[in-house]
Amino acid sequence: MDARKPFSLTTKMARNVDSTTSFDDLPLEAAEEIFTRLPVKTLIRSTSVCKTWYSNITNPTFTSAHIQHSLSCCDETAVLIIPSKYKNNKSCSLISARTGHVLKTYTIPFTTNAGMIKLVASLNGILCLAECPLDNFGRPAADEFQELYLWNPSVGKYKALFSSCFKRRGKCSYAVGLGFLEGSCDFRVVRVAFCKDDVGCLLGKVAPKVEVYSLKTNKWRRIRNPVVPRVARDSGKTVGNSMTYWLDRDPEKLYSCSEEGYIVYFDFNREVFGQIELPDDVRNCVGLMATFKLMTFESKLAVFVFNDVQESNGLKLMPSCIWLLSHEDGKFSWTPRFKVVLGEHVFPFSLSRSGALIVLSACPPVPGLVSCNLKSQDLRLTKPLVTDPCSVDTAFVESLLMLEGRDEQKNS
């Protein structure tokens, strides 16, 4: 099939007795436009009409066009809520951050041994989820091997990534990122393992290990002698399909309270790592001991900088700032986007496309996950979206990716 013409109407549809035209009589451009506007569930049913329609709908060119249309008309306030403990709640909810109403629900099709999961990366409707092993006290064990899942809730397909290039020796800390190579139409997952040495010091003398998974080949591949500049942590944020970013820290100051203000990135196209140092005006905009949280907004990487400063007369709330990172012609630059004062014991989670800041409030009257609109400066904490521990994805969009193929079941 010609990739430039993803729709080829060659199968005649049944016609009414009084009809003189059929769907096949439409120009290719008009037919493609109609199919692009159809919801995912309708398109999935349409793949059963005939082999030609199946080939058309699963064509990468059409899949990309459908994603772009979905992005242009999706609910910009939508937030996907993924429960952490899902033994009693095996579903995700797409919720409006503006009204709190549930827009859609998706059943989680797999089960983990620990019964706990967290979102570690997302891109174009594909979620990368990690199992959270538990320690002896029933708490998430951060330094245990995490089994990964790629899941598209829209089509109900998932891929379980249980294999690895590395032997599971000792405890390690993992950083995971998700990318998409447009040239080969292939999703990639990068996993960086920071292992402890013989004396238990993380990254003391042990070089990090890196492996990359290809969805197309369903295999992990080890990157030999990777140059990983610093220790990555937190969930990876993907910008522009091929660049994943993490917050990171200096290995020598891993357990100190101060944040150094660095970002490490992985370029999926070149399979190389790099680092970006936050400039002084970003790092010091709310104080010398600022804390950072990575987000995405307006198709750019966003850094939320916040800090609570103790004074003799009590707690002084400092303004929090959100900076956007631009990457043009190989150069990085920062632009301030929002400034807001949050209440006490409020921790930022993510930003929606509409400019709603999703925060975790630990205090009454609204403990739980709540929404604040930054564009309108409406910072009133209303009814919480959810009160249970969870992961959130504010960039979720319904897509046809991973429609082809079968789910991979875990071997017993």
Vertex 296: Cα angle to 277 and 368 (nearest 5) = 110
**pLDDT recorded at residue 151:** 93
Distance of alpha carbon 320 from alpha carbon 162, whole angstroms: 40
Q: Which pLDDT score is estimated for 249?
A: 57
Is 129 in contact with 120 (CB distance < 8 Å)?
Answer: yes
Q: How distant, in Å, are the alpha carbons of 92, 97, 235, 248, 351 from that of 393?
A: 11, 12, 11, 21, 9
Task: Answer for the pair 194, 175: CB distance below 8 angstroms, yes or no.
Answer: yes
Q: Are 251 and 257 in contact (CB under 8 A)?
A: no
**Per-residue pLDDT at 134:** 47
Task: Report the pLDDT value the prediction gives residue 409, as an integer from 0 to 100.
Answer: 40
Which value, to the nearest 10 degrees, does the dihedral of the CA atoms of residues 251, 254, 260, 262 take?
60
Give the predicted TM-score (pTM) of the model.
0.81
Token pair for 128: 């990368």
DSSP β-bridge partners for residue 391: 82
Which of the residues in the chain have pLDDT under 70? 1-26, 86-89, 133-145, 168-171, 196-205, 231-235, 249-261, 283-290, 307-318, 343-344, 363-367, 375-389, 405-412
Identify the bridge partners of residue 78 per DSSP, sorted by sequence position. Answer: 96
CB-facing half-sphere around the CA of 343: CA atoms within 13 A: 15
Distances (CA, A) of 148 to 93, 122, 158: 20, 12, 10
Burial of 20 (0-12, 13-18, 19+ CB in 10 A): exposed
In whole angstroms, give the CA distance from residue 216 to residue 169. 28
Cα 159–chain centre separation:
16
Give the per-residue pLDDT at 10: 52
Take residue 37 and report the two structure tokens written for it.
């506007």
- In the structure encoding, which two tokens stand for residue 176, read together? 């995971």
CA distance 200 to 203: 9
Give residue 106's pLDDT: 92
C-alpha to C-alpha distance for 97 and 93, rounded to whole angstroms: 12
Burial class (CB in 10 A: 0-12, 13-18, 19+), 33: middle
326 by Cβ neighbours in 10 Å (0-12 / 13-18 / 19+) ranks as exposed
Q: What integer pLDDT is reported at residue 126 of this predicted model?
A: 92
pLDDT at 189: 94
Alpha-carbon distance of 96 to 279, in angstroms, equals 35
CA distance 281 to 336: 10
In this structure, are residues 273 and 264 in contact, taking their beta carbons and an 8 Å threshold? Answer: yes
3-state secondary structure of 373: strand
